[in-house]
Amino acid sequence: MKTLRAFGVIAACVAAGVGLYVDSRAGGAEEAWATRTVYACDHHKVVVVEGVRSDEKLSPRKAQQVADLLTDLMRYCNAEVKARIATNDLITLSVNGMPYVQYVPGSEPPIELVRGKSDYGDRDRAIWKAELDKLVKEGDRLFHSDEVGTNGIACAMCHPHASNTHPETYPKFQIEMKKVALLRDMVNWCIENPLEGTKLAADDPKMRALEAYILSQRSGVKMEAGKH
Ligand code: HEC
């Protein structure tokens, strides 16, 4: 099978964005083709589109095809899946490093290779919760301390239990700022006045913790971006 013979070469060349096609009919003569590689957000799924250069935009039809395929493959959780879309739209898959097989989107791929490895369990959920709790706890501490300011005032003195912070209404237009504010803009607004502190960068660990705390206090509240 062509796909099998070409597999090793493809694996080596995918990073460069160019695959080498070993044409069996031409007695092993090599012919270069362009490929564009798209990774799913979990980095465990990758789609190689043949016939499109690595610096070339996918056509809307191909882009939708790739998006649909990645979404479809996300059903398989932690499995490493490499998919290839040939120029004639034929799709082949390699699951966990196994040889490529033909695949019809939505149908069952070699599922026995995927199950078992895939499901997150109670232990994972406990770890996720502990990580979140840690961040929220740090935010709670900062919210109740004078550390983000300079004049001894803490957020909680005006917003006990994060009351009246209304994170669910962001983003929204803030008249004082004359622009659409994100929650973090309001956090910084209050840090500067009344706390007389210095603005925090969006990825500052203190900003992340404050956002986590404020949002966690409003769990279950309906999202209403822009509400005044
Ligand atoms: C002196 C009292 C005071 C302190 C201290 C204070 N705020 Fe505020 N905060 C306010 C007031 C008053 C408003 C309402 C402003 C408005 O409606 O635009 C507000 C608005 C907000 C909002 C937006 C609320 C909404 O309904 O849109 C957020 C978020 C917020 N504060 C976070 C914080 C954080 C975080 C801190 C600590 C860094 C803090 N505040 C400290 C008085 C305070």
Q: Which residue has the higher pLDDT, 110 or 220?
A: 220
Output the CA 186–ligand 1 centroid distance in Å: 7
Average pLDDT over residues 202-218: 97
**Lowest mean pLDDT: which of 21-30, 167-176, 183-192, 219-228?**
21-30
Q: Is the dihedral of CA 186, 189, 193, 198 positive or negative?
A: positive
Better-scored residue on pLDDT, 156 or 73:
156
| Residue 109 pLDDT grade (very low, low, confident, very high; cuts 50, 70, 90) | low
Q: Does residue 111 surpass a pLDDT of 70?
A: no
User: Is the CB of residue 158 below 6 angstroms from any atom belonging to ligand 1?
Assistant: yes
173, with CB counted inside 10 A (0-12, 13-18, 19+), is exposed
Is 159 near ligand 1, meaning CB less than 6 Å away? yes
Closest atom of ligand 1 relative to the 174 alpha carbon: 18
Place 4 in a pLDDT band, splitting at 50, 70 and 90.
very low
Q: Span 7-32, mean pLDDT? A: 36
- Level-2 CATH architecture, domain 122-216: Orthogonal Bundle (1.10)
Average pLDDT, the chain: 83
Q: Is 157 in the pocket of ligand 1 (CB under 6 A)?
A: yes
Distance of CA 73 to the CA centre of its chain: 15
Q: Is 207 in the pocket of ligand 1 (CB under 6 A)?
A: no
Distance from CA of residue 210 to its chain's centroid? 22
57-75 confidence digits (pLDDT tens) = 999 999 999 999 998 888 7
DSSP letters for 46-114: EEEEETS-TTSPPPHHHHHHHHHHHHHHGGGTT--EEEEE-TT--EEEEETTPPPEE--TTS--SGGGT
Mean local confidence (pLDDT), 159-164 = 94
Q: Tell me which of 164, 196, 216, 221 to substitute to probe ligand 1's pocket, judged by most ligand atoms within 8 Å of the beta carbon.
A: 164
Cis peptide before 171 (omega within 30 of 0): yes
Which ligand 1 atom sits nearest the alpha carbon of residue 167? 29
Boundaries of every domain in the chain: 2-113, 122-216
State residue 106's pLDDT score.
Answer: 80
Between 156 and 29, name the one with better pLDDT.
156
- pLDDT above 90 (res 108): no
pTM (2 d.p.) = 0.75
